[in-house]
Amino acid sequence: MKPTYIIAIALCASLLSCKSKSDETTATSATKADQPTSFRIAVGSCNRQDLPQDYWNVIAKDSADIFIWGGDNIYADTADMEVMKSKYNTQKTNEHYTSFMSSLPNAPIGVWDDHDYGKNDAGKSWTYKDEAKLLFMDFFDIDSTHAMTDRGGTYQAKTIEVGDKAIKFYLLDTRYFRDALVDAEREDRRYQPHTDDNSTLLGDEQWNWLEQEFKTSDADFNIIVSSIQFLSGEHGFETWGNFPHEIQKMLGLIEKHTLNNILMLSGDRHISEFSQKKIEGLDYPLTDFTSSGLTHSYTSYDGEPNPHRVGEVVTKTSYGIIDLNFESEVAELTIKSTEDREVFQNLKLKYRTEQ
């Protein structure tokens, strides 16, 4: 497989509305002479809407092309949908947030996690998941013409095209279909892995959709967004590691469909870190960039196992920047402070083996 790179969207891009119930594609025309040479993605998760929001002014200085919400976009934690609606409104109308989002060439996209789903660590048995879904859709301005309307969950694909290049986001729902977690026998763990291969994280419907999206993708860059960590699976909290057979299923699909230039994004943990693993079918390491949290962090963190970690764990509030450079054919991942844009850590990904 010969990797290629997505060309960035021009700053004058306009968001196109879908005319039928389908996942979205945004297209921008550009002549070969004025094609941008880079595309910048900002990402973050774990945002308490009742805490100061002026950090959006900090992120704005990075002039990103799009912002990706990684889950826990608000902290609702309620069965009262009027309360949840009010909390979403608090976030969506915050002056710092609206100023930042209006400055972006592309509308924000994202996934949910447990706190904006409505209940801590909740899965498919959550009584109010469909009501919470409607509020999620309102927050992201997803209308009734979208394919999400007529199916369970909030999963969707978003493709951004510029000229003959494309970047595709797979926004996964790790809540709506997820089976109950298994309580850990060890005192230093909250959960332990399932041993029942019939248990599921994504559910059959979402798996079938994802395989079809992989199968039909000719995007130059493929970014998989999961609210929970994919590669770090030994810490005993929520992780794909609690469903080891689902990890193998994802890796099998990646190997089968040979997507170009894959990157995974995750949140949830109130820490930020990079994880990498060499897998069959890729000539570069699969990377999971965990970016969390925006307003609060795991300040009492004192270590946890992650055999795939690259670098150190960041325990201060942070956001992520992903720079795709199409001239050097390098993607640079950066963990930055929400206070002053201090660079805590960065990682360069080289998708061409000859570099």
* Per-residue model confidence as pLDDT tens digits over 86-110: 999 999 999 999 999 999 999 999 9
- Those residues with Cβ within 8 angstroms of residue 283's Cβ, 6 or more apart along the chain or in another chain: 1, 353
> Alpha carbon 291 to chain centroid distance?
9
Task: Domain ranges for the chain, please list them.
Answer: 24-350
**Count of beta carbons in the 10 Å neighbourhood of residue 248:** 11
Distance CA 117, CA 72 (A): 8
Question: Please, are residues 266 and 22 in contact by the beta-carbon 8 Å criterion?
Answer: no
Section 29-53 average pLDDT: 84
Report the Cα–Cα distance between both ends of the chain, in Å, rounded: 15
| 107's tokens | 């509308």
SS3 242: helix
| 322's tokens | 């992903």
* 27 has pLDDT over 50: yes
Residue pLDDT, tens place only, 43-81: 999 999 999 999 999 999 999 999 999 999 999 999 999
Q: Residue 116 — φ and ψ, nearest 5°?
A: -90, -15
pLDDT band of residue 281 (cuts 50, 70, 90) is: confident
pLDDT band of residue 22 (cuts 50, 70, 90) is: low
The confidence score (pLDDT) of residue 204 equals 98
User: Domain 24-350 belongs to what architecture?
Assistant: 4-Layer Sandwich (3.60)
SS3 264: strand
SS3 166: strand
- Those residues with Cβ within 8 angstroms of residue 333's Cβ, 6 or more apart along the chain or in another chain: 274, 287, 289, 320, 321, 322, 323, 346, 347, 348, 349
* 135 has pLDDT over 50: yes
Distance CA 98, CA 311 (A): 34
Residue 260, class by beta-carbon neighbours within 10 Å (0-12 exposed, 13-18 middle, 19+ buried)?
buried
The confidence score (pLDDT) of residue 160 equals 87
